[in-house]
Structure formats: structure tokens, C-alpha cells
Structure 1
Amino acid sequence: MAGIGKSFSGVRALQGVDFTVAGGEVHALLGANGAGKSTLMKILSGAYETDEGEIRINGERLDIRSPSDAKRAGIHCVYQEVDTSLIAHLSVAENIMLDRLASPKGSAWLRWGNLHREAGEALARVGSRIPTRKRADELTLAEKQIVLLARLLVEEAKFVILDEPTAPLSLEEAERLFGIMNGLKKAGIGIVFISHRLPEVTRVSDRITVMRDGRVVLSEPAAGMQAGDIVRAMLGRSFEEEFPKTDAPIGDTLLEVKGLTAGHRVKGVDLTVREGEVVAVVGLVGAGKTELSRLLFGADPADQGEVALEGRKVASAAPADAVRSGIVLVPEERRKEGIFVGSSVLHNLSLPILKSLARFSFISGPGERRHAEDMIGRLGIKTPSPGQLTGFLSGGNQQKVAIGKWMSTDAKVFLFDEPTKGVDVGAKRDIFRIIGELARQGKGIVYLTCEFAEALGLADRILVMCDGRIVKQFARGEATQEDLLLYASAGREDLK
């Protein structure tokens, strides 16, 4: 890609961008929200047309005006939301061979035995034995991703864009994905790797390009490149400057949980949170963090245990009960559970406080708009207008909306479940700033995450969760990432 330029409504999104990928290479593309990496990849994959510049493969200029043009050139994209690329009620084999089934030439005479055999061979090439007759909606997220990668082999892809492929995966699943990526490299396929997890970027990439403000600011071989150098290029400043710990006075106990239990996923959890305190609950995928957040929010019923807020027992039979009591949740699956993607930013932000915006059962339009504009400014939500559909915002800005809708309520305890999942470091800065603001207001924060570095930087106290139990507690400054991983992966010890 040479000299790529793109503008939207007169605003320059890309300015003279050069980007090169070789066959058999993993080229990481990084950048904060608004840096231009998504726009660049949408041009490469045919979702947008470029205003300036050109795209060439092996010296031959391409005219890419649609996703089908990109596919014909061998350019494919695997998005983070893998469900959008699969048809749930079709089998694994049908999803892998989807292009052939959809082709007028290929669907006249189908030999189903051959179709399943070819799909099985493609799966074997990526090291998987998923049954080809299994329905797509029966697969795990990791298995769905494998099906999409097998489809790439069938379609003879030359270049693949992997957009945040490890965001929904456990550590073990991510390791398997890296093995598959290595196989794609050996097959001569060029990979554009987009990820916000810098350790894995430096580990698996051959080359790293960083964009900022619509331009390339760094493009170097990955060997020897340090995470601090990448962050400084992405933000124009160091990680430490960008994520300072906000000091907040810690007051009386707000939330007290005793013996909270639900099946095999949450087993006798005790925890307390005080006014102005950030308590991180860390653990690996499957430790029970999300299940704990749902119990505290009343989304799932508890088998036993008690939850008290300011000394009063909370009976959360449903999320509405928790909200009335003063407990709110920013869930991990923001698009499914945290926001209405088909509604505007304005309506998402006002939803929990409609009563306060209404007079005689009618919503005040000007009042609702003033509230949305104030919240957009406070949280730094990047949107063309309050009327923009929330589903069209970037992941980081969607997350700010999911948080912002609770900011004007009477909530006393905020539960954050993996709030930086799939979010770049620029948006992380804003989310950490918002959490610091809430802590200064005397709110209690429960921050559930598998990102140990974030917990170490943000939390006043860290609880380590393993196999449904809290197995260790650390005060601020007591633990390292290695300590947290030790207890999260196997260790069990009484709280001290």
C-alpha cells in the first residue's frame, strides 16, 4: 500500500500511508483509537475505497472497490467478532466451504462426502479435529476462529488480516492460535496482526508498524523492539505518564460479600470494598470472575451467601434490584450486554435515568441531549454527534458509553468485568481516568481482569481467583505479575 489517503467529511483520516506485507510474514499494525489502522485495513479489505494512493501485489496494481474484489485478490479478514462471519445453523464443513456453496458454478452438483473430506483436510492443516458435521452454534469461540482460518486455506488466501484474534481466547487457546499462525506463515501467507497485547505482538511478529493521527510513525523489525518504545510511539509519551495511579481517600466499608456460591464456578467467595477503593479480582480465563460479577449484579441466582451494601443486605433477584440497591455492572460482552448497538449514543447514555429526564411521563428532548453532550465531553467519547448509532463507534468508545450510562445514577459500587478487552492503550488511559474519578467520588470499584499489569497499576488491593475461589490477597505494592500468575494458575492459600 503506497501513499494511501482517506478523508471523511473533510477530515483527514489517513495521510500518505505506506504499508508493506511480505508472504510468510507476520506484520503487526498498532495504534490508539483514531490512529487510522482500522481505516487502512478497511481500504485493504475493500470496505472503503481509497481517495489517494495505490495497492499492489507482486508489482501489479489492484483496483479494490469491494470486499469481493479483495477476496479475488487473495486478501481476507478475520474479525474479532467471529460470529459475524459464520452461519450458526450450518455445519462446520458448510461454513468452511461457504464460498463454494454460494457460488453459482459450485452449487449445481454437490458431493457432500467430498465437501466434508475437503473441510476435514483444511482443519487438519491448522491442527484441528473439529467434527465437520457439528453445527457452528455448538462451537466455542476458539473453535469458531479455527473454522474461519480453515476457510482461508480452502479459499487460497494470500494475505490475512487478523483483527484482535486473541481478545476472546484463554492463554492456552492463544498458544494454539500462534501455532496456527506459524503454519500459515510456512504456507507463504502474509499476516497483518492487529492486537493490543504488546507482549504477544513482540513475540509473534516479524515486523511492527505503529500509526498515530493517520500517519505511520514507526515501522521496524520486531526483533529487539521494547514494549515501552511501542507505547511511546502509539501515544507520544511513556506508559507511566499515561497511566498514573489516581490517589483517592479510602473510607468506610461499602460492599461486603460472605460465602457467595453458585455451582462449580463460584465457591464461597468473601470480599469487601471500601469507599474510594479499587479492588482488583484477577485470574485466568475460566477462574469464575465473570460469574462472580453476574452474581453480584443479580444476573444469575446464588446458591448461598450474602451481599450487603452499607451494612444492609442486598436481595438481588434481578439486575434491576442490584441497580436500585446501588450496584451496577459494566459487563465483559459490551456489545451483547452493555449497550444497545442499534440505538444512539444519546439514548444509551440516558437509559438508566429516564425518570429523572421525564415530566408527566414525557421525556425532555433538550434535557436528554444536554445530558448526553455533557457525558460525551466528560468521558472523551469520540462520536460525530449524540445521535450516532453506538454500534458504529470504536470498541473503546463503546466501552465509554457502557460506563457512562451509569455515571449519573446513584450507584455506589461499580463492577468492571474485563473493561479493557479489545481496547487500545489510548482508550485504556481514558477508562483508568474515569475509574479514578469514580474513586475520588467515594465509589467502590471491583475491577475483574486477566490483565495482571493493569491490576498492579490500578488497584489498592488485589484478590487472586482460581477455580472459583479467592486464593490470595495482596496489598498495593506487595505483588509482581509472577506472584499473581503463580496463585492464579494453581496456588491456593488462605487469605492473609
Structure 2
Amino acid sequence: MNGSEAYRLHMKNISIAFPGVQALTDVDFYTDPGRTHALIGANGAGKSTLMKVLSGAYHHYTGEIWIGDKQVDIRSPKDAKDHGIQIVYQEVDTALISGLTVGENIMIEQTVHDMRGKHIIRWKQLHQTAQGILDKMNVRVSSKKLVNELSLAEKQMVLIARAVSKQCRYLVLDEPTAPLSHNETEQLFRLIRSLRSEGVGIIFISHRLPELFEICDDITIMRDGRLVTRDKIAELDQPKVVEYMLGEKLEAQFPQTERSIGDKWFEARGIHDPGKVNHVDFHIHQGEIVGIAGLVGAGKTELCRALFGASPTASGEIWLQGRKLHVGSPHQAVRQGLALVPEERRKEGVFVEEPVSANLTAAVLSRFCSWGSWLSLRKEKEASEAIIRSLGIKTPSEKTKVQNLSGGNQQKVAIGKWLLADADVYIFDEPTKGVDVGAKRDIFELVTELARRGKCILYASSELSEIIGITDRVYVMYDGGIKKELETRQTDEEEILLYSTGGGLT
């Protein structure tokens, strides 16, 4: 056994089932220290489930886990960490304590250990240690800042800092770049290369194929809870990877359908939210898809929330079909024809502990009630099953809790609930974040179909290829304001990126 194989991580014949679904079937996965290993598959393929087995989140699996020539028993997160396995999950808010400081979150395990031993916590030393980790990662965040004051990207980096605060053999990163800007992604990649050079094995889950080819050495592809193939990533190309993921060749990603664009229907005037959005004006025609492009932190999400009445400090005017709307809350926004699919789906887009049917009908619950308050379960079931079929939501039944669905299917639920609402204006904030290439096309087709039906679409995304592929016009945001308005067919990703970074002429 060579030096690398002496500490090889090998998961043998891993199987696990949940009520109504066989999530993994005899999966054989292995990787070596000092390598970056891509683990990919379509939403629901089982990759995150496999890593939750490895991290001790699921204990009722069958199969074996080996490190080198030693079989290890991992049935809890503590077991995994004792064997040097750390994981950073995709949904950052569920893993951080928002009321604590950055340093306290990074050093929380060491702090708990000291408290159990009745030791005195040396706060100055704690923050110095945490700040040292952040500085090494080139993350410009104070260890004394509260987590609830951080951006989504900063929270992601804090989680990674926590993971590397203890010596680890293997670091699992689940969609780590989803909330990161280009510069922040480059910082992460520098950190990954540094850890790899120190002998740490990195397991990298991502739906962004170009970055896998940039940072990874090996690749394992899963589909429907089974292993499809394993290879050196240099031996494959992107079309072949997609074919392995989906079981078929992917057609053109962006649907080409004939649409007629009508008169100006929706208009935002002087939208302002102190420190977030700076007096933004824009409009959307009936049946038009308008993009909001910009880097992470440009103000896209803040603008979407302001339009939907989700920010109490926002001001400005919103007009729909010549009528001024009064949107002081999300409830008022929904009643006046607006719908928002938020970026943070688990926190704001779905009720994770409720069944799929309850989520899909939540926005129009009164429609399924009789005599004022009696909910018709039959009507709710029929309506939710229709949406499940139309969107291709992979779920054992409409009664399955949303938390048990894959990330892409959770996103489809977050979108599906607004189809029943039949809104006039649909606001999509990073709708394909953490979604595989097949599910992305489903979402693109849905957005295009809504526009074809005469809806106004606002599509906010930092994925410039999506902005180019699906929109009719695009407003580029920079530092909270609109930097430039462009006709999509007359621009390209390079020009949009130029304005996104503050360059170019206004």
C-alpha cells in the first residue's frame, strides 16, 4: 500500500432507505488524501445523502467505511470528527448561531469542550485564534462581528473556517461556491489548493461544472442513488459528464419559444433601502423577462426583497398596469399580484418541516377552504399533485416533508407554490442556485412559459450565462445601484461583467 492509499477513505456497499424511498443502493466510493475529488449527480442522485452518512448525520445505513486498512464505525457527527472528517453543508444559516460572534462560531467546539471541563474561556485568545484562521484564508471579516450581520458569502467562509480550525484528514464541501463572488471563489480555491498540498483530501460537491474542471483531480458521478462512474477528471469533458449525470444527452439548455412582448406593465421608481439599494428605477413589459445582473453583494437580493415588501426600511413607488401599489409587507405584495422566489429557499422559500402539499398550496390556502376555515384535503391533494407532475418534482408523494427532498426539488416546490397564485409579476432571486443542469432547464422552461402567458418576469442572477440565455433586457447592478441597462441580444458576458465590476461608461 503506497503512502496515499495508507489513508485512503473508502465507503463500501453503502445503502440507506427512508420512508417511501431507497436513497442509496450499494454505493462504492473512495478517495485519497491530497486530492480534490468531485462528487456530482443530478438533484436526488444521492451525493449529499452519501456525504451525510460519512459525516455521521445518518446512522441507519448498511455497508462499511474504511480509512486505510482500518474499518471505522461512523454513526454520529462526533464519530466522523474523531476520524478527521469535517463537512460544510450548503445551507449555511442552519449551521451557524446567528446571535454569536464570528469567532465564537468558528471556535464553538473548542469552547464547548472547555465549558465541560469547567475551564475559564480566554476570550482574547479565542478571538486571536479565530482571526488568525480568517487571515490565513484571506477572509476580511472581524472575529468579533456578529454572524447575523454577515452576508451569505461571509457566512459560508465562516463555516469553512470552523471546519479547518481543527486538524482534518478529509473536508467535504457541499456547494461551497454557490453564495460566493468570483473573487471569493478564487480565495476558496487558493485555500483548497493549500489544504491539498498539506495532505488534506477534499470532497467537492457542485453543479458548476467549469469549476470542477478547474479545481478537481478526480470525479465520481452518481444517478438515482447508485454509482455511475469514477475517473480522473482530465479523462472526461463537460458534455460527457452531463450525459453520465442525466443518463441521456442534454438538449439545448435555454428553451427557444416565440413570445410577444406587450406594453409597459410594471414599473419601479426610486426604490431605496439605506445602505443596500440606491434609488433604483426600472420597468418590465408584459411578457418580458428582465434580468438583474451583478456580482454577489451588488444589491440584487436586497432589491428583490424591497420590491416584495420584505424590508421595513425600503421606500419608493411600484406601479402595475398604471396603478400605484401599496406594498408594505409580503402579504400585501401577494394580494396585489407579486410573487417572490427567494435565494435562501430553506430559510424563506419553503416550510421544510411541512409536507409538499402544504407548501404548494400555502400562498392560496383560502382557495382550498370551505365554510371559512375547513381545509379540503382532497382539493389540496389534487392541486399539489398537478404541480408535482407539471414541474417534475421527485417526491415519493405529496405528503413527503420538504426537508427530505433534494435541493433542486426543494427549489421546484418554492417555485411551484406561486403557480397556483397566478401572480402578475414573478421575481426570481438566484433560482438555479444549487440546482443540477437538468433541473435548471426545467426552471428555464417554467420561466419562459410564464412570460409567454403574459407575466412580467424579474430574473436576478450572478450567473451571467443565464442572464444572456434567458432574458430580453438586463439591468446591471453595482454597489446598490443600476450601473447600466442593456439589450440582451446586443451584449455579451464580458460587457455585463465589466459593468458589474464598476467599469465602463454609464
Task: Tell me if both proteins adopt one fold, taking TM over 0.5 as the criterion.
Answer: yes
367, 376, 390: which one pairs with 2:402?
390
Alignment: residue pair count: 494
Per the alignment, residue 185 of structure 2 pairs with 174
Per the alignment, residue 499 of structure 2 pairs with 487
For structure 1, which segment, 449-458 or 403-412, has the greater mean C-alpha deviation from structure 2 after superposition? 403-412
Give, in whole Å, the separation in 1 of the partners of 2:200 and 2:436.
Answer: 26
1:141-174: per-residue Cα shift (whole Å, max 9, x none)? 4444444434434432111111111112222222
Residue 349 of structure 1 contacts residue 405 of structure 1 at CA under 8 Å; is this kept in 2?
A: yes
Residue 246 of structure 2 contacts residue 438 of structure 2 at CA under 8 Å; is this kept in 1?
A: yes
Per the alignment, residue 393 of structure 2 pairs with 381
Q: CA deviation at 1:225?
A: 4.3
Percent of residue pairs identical:
49
Q: 1:399-410 alignment to 2 at 5 Å?
A: 399-410=411-422
Q: 1:262-411 alignment to 2 at 5 Å?
A: 262-300=273-311, 305-361=316-372, 362-411=374-423
2:475 corresponds to 1:463: yes
Please give the root-mean-square deviation of Cα atoms over the aligned residues, in Å.
Answer: 2.8
Q: CA deviation at 1:343?
A: 2.5
Q: CA deviation at 1:18?
A: 2.6
1:314-344: per-residue Cα shift (whole Å, max 9, x none)? 2222223322221211111222222222322
Q: CA deviation at 1:48?
A: 2.6
Q: 1:123-162 alignment to 2 at 5 Å?
A: 123-127=134-138, 131-162=142-173
Per the alignment, residue 439 of structure 1 pairs with 451
Q: 1:60-99 alignment to 2 at 5 Å?
A: 60-99=70-109
Change (3 A) 1:301 1:108: closer
Per the alignment, residue 257 of structure 1 pairs with 268
For structure 1, which segment, 39-48 or 140-149, has the greater mean C-alpha deviation from structure 2 after superposition? 140-149
Residue 87 of structure 2 contacts residue 163 of structure 2 at CA under 8 Å; is this kept in 1?
A: no
Give, in whole Å, the separation in 2 of the partners of 1:119 and 1:327.
Answer: 43
Per the alignment, residue 4 of structure 2 pairs with none
Give, in whole Å, the separation in 1 of the partners of 2:116 and 2:287.
Answer: 63
Change (3 A) 1:400 1:270: same
Instruction: Give the 3-state SS of the residue equivalent to 1:270 in structure 2.
Output: strand
For structure 1, which segment, 172-181 or 298-307, has the greater mean C-alpha deviation from structure 2 after superposition? 298-307
39, 61, 75: which one pairs with 1:29?
39
Residue 258 of structure 1 contacts residue 307 of structure 1 at CA under 8 Å; is this kept in 2?
A: yes
Instruction: Give the 3-state SS of the residue equivalent to 2:432 in structure 1.
Output: coil
Give, in whole Å, the separation in 1 of the partners of 2:139 and 2:448.
Answer: 44
Give, in whole Å, the separation in 1 of the partners of 2:381 and 2:75.
Answer: 37
Change (3 A) 1:302 1:255: farther
Q: CA deviation at 1:103?
A: 3.9
Residue 102 of structure 2 contacts residue 144 of structure 2 at CA under 8 Å; is this kept in 1?
A: yes
For structure 1, which segment, 319-328 or 132-141, has the greater mean C-alpha deviation from structure 2 after superposition? 132-141
Change (3 A) 1:217 1:358: same
Give, in whole Å, the separation in 2 of the partners of 1:316 and 1:332.
Answer: 20
116, 119, 127: which one pairs with 1:109?
119
69, 80, 100: which one pairs with 1:59?
69
Per the alignment, residue 450 of structure 1 pairs with 462
Change (3 A) 1:61 1:81: same
1:400-419: per-residue Cα shift (whole Å, max 9, x none)? 22212221224111111111
Residue 350 of structure 1 contacts residue 405 of structure 1 at CA under 8 Å; is this kept in 2?
A: yes
TM-score (norm 2): 0.88
Instruction: Give the 3-state SS of the residue equivalent to 1:251 in structure 2.
Output: coil
Q: CA deviation at 1:485?
A: 0.8
Q: CA deviation at 1:76?
A: 1.4
1:445-479: per-residue Cα shift (whole Å, max 9, x none)? 11111111111111122232223333333334322
Instruction: Give the 3-state SS of the residue equivalent to 1:386 in structure 2.
Output: coil
Residue 101 of structure 1 contacts residue 107 of structure 1 at CA under 8 Å; is this kept in 2?
A: no
Give, in whole Å, the separation in 2 of the partners of 1:415 and 1:135.
Answer: 30
Instruction: Give the 3-state SS of the residue equivalent to 2:280 in structure 1.
Output: strand
- Unaligned 5+ segments in structure 1 are none
Give, in whole Å, the separation in 2 of the partners of 1:137 and 1:321.
Answer: 26
410, 421, 428: which one pairs with 1:416?
428
Change (3 A) 1:322 1:179: same
Instruction: Give the 3-state SS of the residue equivalent to 2:262 in structure 1.
Output: coil
- 1:271 partner letter: F
Q: CA deviation at 1:137?
A: 4.2
2:288 corresponds to 1:245: no
Give, in whole Å, the separation in 2 of the partners of 1:476 and 1:336.
Answer: 32
Give, in whole Å, the separation in 1 of the partners of 2:106 and 2:218.
Answer: 30
Q: CA deviation at 1:24?
A: 1.3
Instruction: Give the 3-state SS of the residue equivalent to 2:490 in structure 1.
Output: coil
- 1:73 partner letter: H
Instruction: Give the 3-state SS of the residue equivalent to 1:323 in structure 2.
Output: helix
Q: CA deviation at 1:28?
A: 1.1
- 1:74 partner letter: G
Change (3 A) 1:304 1:18: closer
1:336-383: per-residue Cα shift (whole Å, max 9, x none)? 222222322222222222222222212222222222222222222222
Give, in whole Å, the separation in 1 of the partners of 2:90 and 2:176.
Answer: 6
2, 23, 47: which one pairs with 2:12?
2
Give, in whole Å, the separation in 1 of the partners of 2:50 and 2:321.
Answer: 50
For structure 1, which segment, 277-286 or 89-98, has the greater mean C-alpha deviation from structure 2 after superposition? 89-98
Residue 75 of structure 1 contacts residue 159 of structure 1 at CA under 8 Å; is this kept in 2?
A: yes
Q: CA deviation at 1:140?
A: 4.5
Give, in whole Å, the separation in 2 of the partners of 1:287 and 1:353.
Answer: 33
Residue 100 of structure 1 contacts residue 107 of structure 1 at CA under 8 Å; is this kept in 2?
A: no
Residue 272 of structure 2 contacts residue 315 of structure 2 at CA under 8 Å; is this kept in 1?
A: yes
TM-score (norm 1): 0.90
For structure 1, which segment, 54-63 or 89-98, has the greater mean C-alpha deviation from structure 2 after superposition? 89-98
Residue 5 of structure 1 contacts residue 50 of structure 1 at CA under 8 Å; is this kept in 2?
A: no
Change (3 A) 1:117 1:225: same
Residue 114 of structure 2 contacts residue 120 of structure 2 at CA under 8 Å; is this kept in 1?
A: no
Per the alignment, residue 39 of structure 1 pairs with 49
- 1:161 partner letter: V
- Unaligned 5+ segments in structure 2 are 1-10
- 1:458 partner letter: I
2:27 corresponds to 1:17: yes
Residue 210 of structure 1 contacts residue 218 of structure 1 at CA under 8 Å; is this kept in 2?
A: yes
1:107-164: per-residue Cα shift (whole Å, max 9, x none)? 2334626655554554454445755555544554444444443443443211111111
For structure 1, which segment, 231-240 or 25-34, has the greater mean C-alpha deviation from structure 2 after superposition? 231-240
- 2:207 partner letter: H
Give, in whole Å, the separation in 1 of the partners of 2:78 and 2:298.
Answer: 41
